[in-house]
Amino acid sequence: MKLTVACVAVVVLVAAGVVDSCTPADREALVAFKSALTEPNLGIFNTWTGTDCCNNWYGVSCDPTDGRVNDLILRGEPEDKIFEKAGRSGYMTGSLSPSLCALDRLTTLVVADWKGISGEIPSCITSLPHLRILDLIGNQITGKLPDDIGKLQKLTVLNLADNKITGNISPSIVNLGRLMHLDLSNNQITGVLPTDLGKLSMMSRALLNRNKITGAIPRSIASIYRLADLDLSMNQISGSIPAEIGSMPVLSTLNLDSNQITGELPVSLLSNSGLNIVNLSRNSLDGFLPDVFTPGTYFSVLDLSFNKLKGPIPKSLSSAKYIGHLDLRNNHLCGSIPTGFPFDHLEASSFTNNDCLCGSPLLRVC
């Protein structure tokens, strides 16, 4: 009887082991990946021992049915116990080995916030057909986005922010038909945005701020129905703001500050009641502030400072339901500052350095 139980247990264990264990090729790819990196603080790779990479290798998860590696998730700043214990955040040097590309069942690749990983994104990464999440934020990665990035047909998240990526945004990026979250902010990306960027119809966040992007805002962006957050600030973008952007149905945050944008403020932009955070500061916008505000107007932030806006502040602005932060400094506005609830809490600094604004909260009487 005892013997039978023991036999069954052995059989079950062996069966589970066979199903769960790492394939030799995946293990070899991980070992090569590890050998191109140095992680001196925490010793996370000390867990990468033995043959079964599916079992307790830090950051590695496998498909239990075939023992293939699905996820590789290594974060340098997680709320993980391993970091709490060590009392410091992660640091890693080295580079991303092309051996990663042998992990052809990979759906999630996160090697984030290690601060010191350099080298380029292996170009073979575009041959991983199942990749959904590619997150390499917070390293020192150089080189270009792969030219054929558009091959990653399942990609939903592309986060390469806070690196040193150069070159232009490969035009093939518009073929990422499932992309929802694009974050390339704080790199050294140059060149113009693809004119057909609007083909990214699933995209809800597009963060491209703090790069060296030139050229105009593609009009096609306005056709991205789901886009809620567009940040192109701190680039060298020129041309005017396409009026269609003001009619986007779910856009709530629009940051275009610190560029070289010219032309007038589209009327639709300030009358779009879903748009709550708007920063157009430090551009060369001219013309009048459109008189389109209503009791439906709700801005947490409306920063139009450091432009060339002229004329009066429309009286209708005082009918707004809420304006948290209004900044009209350093323009050519003139006339009396409207009174009323949305203006009561604003300080003089919101209105200074205009041509001839007057009335409270400025000291200059009208």
Ligand X SMILES: *[C@@H]1O[C@H](CO)[C@@H](O)[C@H](O)[C@H]1NC(C)=O
Q: Closer CB to ligand X, residue 121 or residue 289?
A: 289
R_g of the chain, CA atoms, integer Å: 26
How far does CA 359 lie from the centroid of its chain?
41
Residue nearest to ligand X (CB): 257
Q: Closer CB to ligand X, residue 126 or residue 209?
A: 209
CA–CA distance, 279 with 231 (Å, rounded to integer): 9
Choose the binding region for ligand X from 18-26, 70-78, 180-188, 278-286 (rule: CB under 6 A): 278-286
Shortest spacing between CB 234 and ligand X, in angstroms: 6
Q: Closer CB to ligand X, residue 97 or residue 276?
A: 276
Contact status: 282 vs ligand X (CB under 6 A):
yes
CB 364 within 8 A of CB 334: no
Contact status: 183 vs ligand X (CB under 6 A):
no
- Name residues contacting ligand X, limited to 209-238 (CB under 6 A): 233
In whole angstroms, how far apart are CA 250 and each of 46, 122, 148, 210, 323?
47, 36, 30, 24, 19
Helix (H, G, I), strand (E, B) or coil at 92: strand
CA–CA distance, 354 with 366 (Å, rounded to integer): 14
Shortest spacing between CB 209 and ligand X, in angstroms: 9
Shortest spacing between CB 160 and ligand X, in angstroms: 22
Query: ω into residue 129 within 30 of 0, thus cis?
Result: no
Contact status: 130 vs ligand X (CB under 6 A):
no
φ, ψ of residue 317 to 5 degrees: the values are -60, -25
Contact status: 186 vs ligand X (CB under 6 A):
no
- Candidate residues 71, 135, 183, 303; the one interacting with ligand X per rule CB under 6 A: 303
H or E segment and range at residue 84: helix 81-86
Q: Closer CB to ligand X, residue 281 or residue 354?
A: 281
Shortest spacing between CB 303 and ligand X, in angstroms: 4
First to last CA, the chain: 101
CA–CA distance, 225 with 203 (Å, rounded to integer): 8
Contact status: 257 vs ligand X (CB under 6 A):
yes
Contact status: 279 vs ligand X (CB under 6 A):
yes
Choose the binding region for ligand X from 41-49, 56-64, 275-283, 288-296 (rule: CB under 6 A): 275-283
Contact status: 71 vs ligand X (CB under 6 A):
no
Contact status: 253 vs ligand X (CB under 6 A):
no
Shortest spacing between CB 230 and ligand X, in angstroms: 14
At CA 103, angle to CA 99 and CA 109, rounded to 5?
Answer: 90
φ, ψ of residue 120 to 5 degrees: the values are -95, 165
Helix (H, G, I), strand (E, B) or coil at 130: coil
Binding-site residue total for ligand X (CB under 6 A)? 9
- Candidate residues 187, 258, 268, 354; the one interacting with ligand X per rule CB under 6 A: 258
Contact status: 34 vs ligand X (CB under 6 A):
no
Shortest spacing between CB 131 and ligand X, in angstroms: 34
CB 161 within 8 A of CB 135: no
Alpha-helical regions (H) of 141-284: 267-271
Instruction: Name the site residues for ligand X (rule: CB under 6 A).
Output: 233, 257-258, 279, 281-282, 301, 303, 325
